Every structure is written in structure tokens, then in C-alpha cells.
Amino acid sequence: MNLLAPWIVKLGQLTVLFYEALLALREIHKTPRLVLQEIEKIGVNSLPVVILTSLFIGMVSAVQTAYQVKDFVPLEYLGVGIAKAVLIELGPVITALVVAGRSGAGIAAEIGSMRVTEQIDALTVMGINPVRYLVLPRLIAGVVSLPLLTVFAEASAIMAAAVVSKVVLFVPMSLYFTGIQMFFAPVDLWGGLAKSVVFGGIIALMGSFHGYYAEGGATGVGRATTEAVVSSSVLILAADYILGTLIYG
Amino acid sequence: MIRFEGVWKSFEGRPVLKGISFTITPGEMVAILGKSGTGKTVTIKHILGLLRPDRGRVFVEDVDVTRASRRTLNALRRRFGYVFQGAALFDSLTVYENLALPLKERGWPREKRDEAIRWALEMVGLGGTEDLYPAEMSGGMRKRAGIARAIVARPDYLIYDEPTSGLDPVTADRINDLMLYLKEQLDVTGVMVTHDLVSALKVADRLILLEEGEIAVDIPVDRAFEESHPAFRAFLKAAGLLERQT
Ligand SMILES: Nc1ncnc2c1ncn2[C@@H]1O[C@H](COP(=O)(O)OP(=O)(O)OP(=O)(O)O)[C@@H](O)[C@H]1O
Ligand SMILES: [Mg+2]
């Protein structure tokens, strides 16, 4: 029982924070600039590292898929296998994990240091709702940025895989892409993007939550950062399983 | 008017405030003294609901801060200026933007904002620093910018958490004069937490000494040198003020 108590408290705090962020949506018109700023930080600035990782994911996928299916399946179906894996799983999940490490940590550090240096108290005594000012813009930015980043990630991975298929495995690009087109199911794309919306919410919420309740100076901020990354990574994978079952199961 | 009625507060089972009661009447400035870690900051954080008491109540005028709705509380908060112990400037904003934020929140038009910001920075001797970020300023400058932010909206009440700590004696005295001016000319009611007895004697009307979570001494400032409580006398003595009197 005593072991559970802190977790129940945390879950309560998390629920309250999320609920307050939703309530604060009514006042979002007061801070449009903050939302754009956060989209820049979480979305635009993550683009290079997301594309870079996706290129490698695409290349690895091509080699691995070819290795596993080459004796059973004609290689014109190579593109299909890769594309489906990228759209449904790899694109959304890898993007989310990369952004969790980058922006989730950043959110926790920013909000956490504002907590321990009384900046959140300062907002409160000015009559400014800190959840509206700090959490909501990041939440919106996360939910908006992740699907966009995922689209870039998926395009990069599929292109990188196409290049590897041609250069290393000698599958002509036209064959690779006709295969993809032939078997393309819209739900592969939309399902993956729907998941990434949820992942974006998880990253922003876990970063905000751990920062918002940080205590104990710089050490506390460091701890909040770590916890934000660990908890959002675990939740992303758990949510991936649940959403995958709901959408494709 | 600010009134504490039997306020108790503990952290992780460790009591910090043990039934604090006092009243600050309109126009009055009260200084809270006490050793480091006795709960001075904790006390004043109860005034605007930054902390909630475990027991007891806190009133500002006729509002029970411990039970007020968020809307009532926010309306109340906008009549206060709060100087934080560590200044608590927003790192991501310049000095100008730090001061503009509370004014924007109140819906002040641009021109009125600019004028108020110029006035507030002038008052703390920071004219011309509008475009600096907090990280580009010294500790004392940050402290003064924090004071400027607290007074910029011309509040009815001011809460100062160690307004002169970390300042050189000349600047500290300038801040004392500013606090006096705000009290006497603008009729601000306030409370200051301080270790600086010279500052307290100059600015405050009343002195409260906090010891072990209780109010040990609560006296008008002109009786300071008659007070016989040993902890209070230790304070006077440490500040080098005792020999002069006796
Ligand atoms: N959020 C908190 N969590 C746990 N303990 C706290 C918290 N805030 C304050 N305390 C404890 O309450 C006590 C009083 O702290 P407070 O900050 O009020 O001291 P202070 O009188 O302002 O001291 P100083 O003059 O050094 O600023 C300290 O022992 C501190 O450890
Ligand atoms: Mg203090």
C-alpha cells in the first residue's frame, strides 16, 4: 500500500495538470505567439535529427527486409514491406522516441528550472495561469508537430530505402514504387499519423508534468529531465501497442 | 488589510509554522525578521495562496485566501506586487518584457505600459537596461529588476522577500527610500522579510520576530530598543545597533 501511494499521488497530479490544460484552452487566444514558438522548438528544430535518423532507419529496413524475404518473395514486393513497416510502426515510433529524447527533455528542463527558481510562483502572483502559459502551448505544439515530423520521417525513410534497394539490391526504383502504390492502404498512413498525434501529446505532457512538479534545485531539474524521457518512452511504446490493436487489430 | 489566524504548515511531517497570527493594517509596513530557515518565506507565500496552510486561515481584506475561488484569488493577486527572494525573473524574456508581462495581463495599452516601465526602472536605478536578459545582469541588478516588476503596475500591496539582500549599501539605501516612498506617497500596505535590521528600522512600522515557527516578538518599530526578548536583542546586537543605545 505504501509502495503504491506515491504513484497514486503522481497519477492524480498528472490528471489534474492535463485537465487544467484542457480548461485553459478557453484562454488560448491570449498566447498564440507562445504556441508558435513551441512549434518552432519542438517541430522545426527537431526536423534535422528526425530526418537523419529516418534515413538510417530506411536504409536498415531495406537491407533487413531483403535479407529476410529474398528466398520466398519476389523483390518487387520489397518496397511494399518497407513502406508498410515505416508508415505503420517505424516512422511514428522512431520519430516519437527521438523527439522524446530531444524535446521532452527540453520541456522538463525549462519548466523544471522555472519551478525551482520561483518563476512559476511569479506567474501565479501576476494572476497568469502557469498551465495556460507554460503547459498548454507545449501540449498543442507536441500534438501538431509530431504528425508533421512523422510525415517527413516516413518520406525520408522510404526514399533512403529506395536508394539502398537500387544501389545494393538492384531493385529498380520504378518497381519499388509501383509495388508500394499497388498495395497502399490509406489506413497505413492515417493510422500511423493518428498514433503520432497521441505520441506528441505524451511527450509534451510528460515533459511538462515532470518539470512542473520538480523540486530540489538543479538536481531536481536533472531528475525531472531523466524521468520525462524514460516515462514518455515507455508510454509511447505502450500506447503504440494499444493504438495498434485498436486500429489494425 | 492582511490577517493570519493560527496558521500551521508542515513539510513532510516537519512543522515549520506553528500557529502564526498577526494583522497588517492598511497603510502599514511590517518587517518579518528571523534566522535563516525559520519560515519567513513560507509565511509570506501564504498571503497569495502560493502555499496553503494545514490549519488556520489567511485573510486579505475580507477574502479568505485559503478558500477563495481561483477567479477571486486572481483578482486579488493583481492588486499585489511580489518581490521574490531570488528575483524570479523570466529567463526567456528581457527586462522590458518581464515588466510588460503583468501589464499586458491587465490589458494596459502600449503607451501606458511603456511609461510605467520607464518609471519603475528609473525608481530602482536600472534605466537603460530594458533589452538585457536576466542572465546578462548581476545578482543585484536582477534583484532590482524584480523589485521594478513588482511595483510596475502600482499595486495596493507589496510583499518583499529580502529586498536589500545582495545589494551594496548605497543601492540598498536607495531601495529603502523607494519602499518608504511607495508606503508614504502611494499608500502601499506591505510586508518585508529581511535580515537587514537597518532597512527594517528605516522602512517598517512594526517588527515581527519569527522563531521556531512561532511569533516571538511583535512590536512597533519605535519600541525596538526597549524589547527584552533575548533572540530579538541578539538580532540588534549582531547588527551592531545595541551599543549605541545603551
Ligand atoms: N517546498 C518545500 N518543501 C519542503 N520543505 C520546505 C519547502 N519550503 C520550505 N521548506 C522548509 O521550511 C523551512 C523554512 O523555509 P523558508 O524558506 O521559509 O526559510 P526562510 O525563513 O525564508 O529562510 P531564509 O532567510 O534563508 O530565506 C526550511 O527548513 C525549509 O527547508
Ligand atoms: Mg526566505
Between chains, do A127 and B86 touch, taking CB under 8 Å as contact?
no
In a domain, A53, yes or no: yes
B14 and B98, same structural domain?
no
Between chains, do B86 and A128 touch, taking CB under 8 Å as contact?
no
Between chains, do A124 and B101 touch, taking CB under 8 Å as contact?
no
Q: Which ligand has the nearest atom to the CA of B46? A: 1
Ligand 1 contact, B203 CB (< 6 A): no
Q: Which residues in chain A are contacts of B102 at CB distance < 8 A?
A: 126-128
Distance (Å, rounded) from C-alpha A199 to C-alpha A92? Answer: 8
Confidence of residue A155 (pLDDT cuts 50, 70, 90): very high
Of A73 and B246, the one with more pLDDT? A73
Q: Kindly give the number of the ligand 1 atom that is closest to the alpha carbon of A215.
A: 1
Structural domains counted in chain B? 2
Domain boundary among B105, B132, B155: B155
In a domain, A20, yes or no: no
In a domain, A151, yes or no: yes
Q: What is the pLDDT of residues A192-228, one digit of tens each?
A: 999 999 999 999 999 999 999 999 999 999 999 999 9
Would you state the cell numbers that stand for residue B115, as one nine-digit string?
511609461
Instruction: Look at the block and give the residue holding cell 515510433.
Output: A93
Q: Which of B10, B11, B85 to mutate to test the pocket of ligand 1 (most atoms within 8 A of CB)?
A: B11
In a domain, A12, yes or no: no
From the CA of B106, how far away is ligand 2's center (Å)? 28
The identity of residue B243, as a single letter, is: E
Q: Which residue range forms the structural domain that includes residue B148?
A: 85-155
At residue B12, φ and ψ (nearest 5 deg) are: 50, 45
Confidence of residue A77 (pLDDT cuts 50, 70, 90): confident
pLDDT on residue A1: 61
B230 and B150, same structural domain?
no
Averaged pLDDT of chain A = 94
Structural domains counted in chain A? 1
Ligand 1 contact, B39 CB (< 6 A): yes
Domain boundary among B95, B129, B155: B155
B162 and B75, same structural domain?
yes
Would you state the cell numbers that stand for residue A68, as one nine-digit string?
529476410
B105 → closest Cβ in A117, A118, A127 = A127
CA distance B242 to chain A (A): 36
Average pLDDT over residues A72-83: 85
Would you state the cell numbers that stand for residue A168, as one nine-digit string?
545494393
Collapse the DSSP code of A216 into the 3-class scheme (helix H, G, I; strand E, B; otherwise coil) and give the result: coil
Spans in chain B with pLDDT lower than 50: 245-246
Q: Which ligand has the nearest atom to the CA of B33? A: 1
Distance (Å, rounded) from C-alpha B137 to C-alpha B141? Answer: 6
Distance (Å, rounded) from C-alpha A143 to C-alpha A138? Answer: 9
Q: Which of B40, B196, B215 to mutate to test the pocket of ligand 1 (most atoms within 8 A of CB)?
A: B40
CA distance B50 to chain A (A): 7
Ligand 1 contact, B40 CB (< 6 A): yes
Residues A168, A63 contacting (CB under 8 angstroms): yes
In a domain, B203, yes or no: yes
Q: Which residues in chain B are contacts of A216 at CB distance < 8 A?
A: none
B246 and B162, same structural domain?
yes
Average pLDDT over residues A180-186: 90
pLDDT on residue A31: 82
pTM score, whole prediction = 0.92
In a domain, A94, yes or no: yes
Interface ipTM = 0.93
pLDDT on residue B246: 47
B31 and B130, same structural domain?
no
Q: What is the pLDDT of residues B177-194, one digit of tens each?
A: 999 999 988 899 999 999
pLDDT on residue B244: 53
In a domain, A13, yes or no: no
Q: Which residue range forms the structural domain that includes residue A62?
A: 29-248
Distance (Å, rounded) from C-alpha A213 to C-alpha A224? Answer: 8
Residue nearest ligand 1's atom 7 by CA: B11
pLDDT on residue B100: 97
B122 and B63, same structural domain?
no
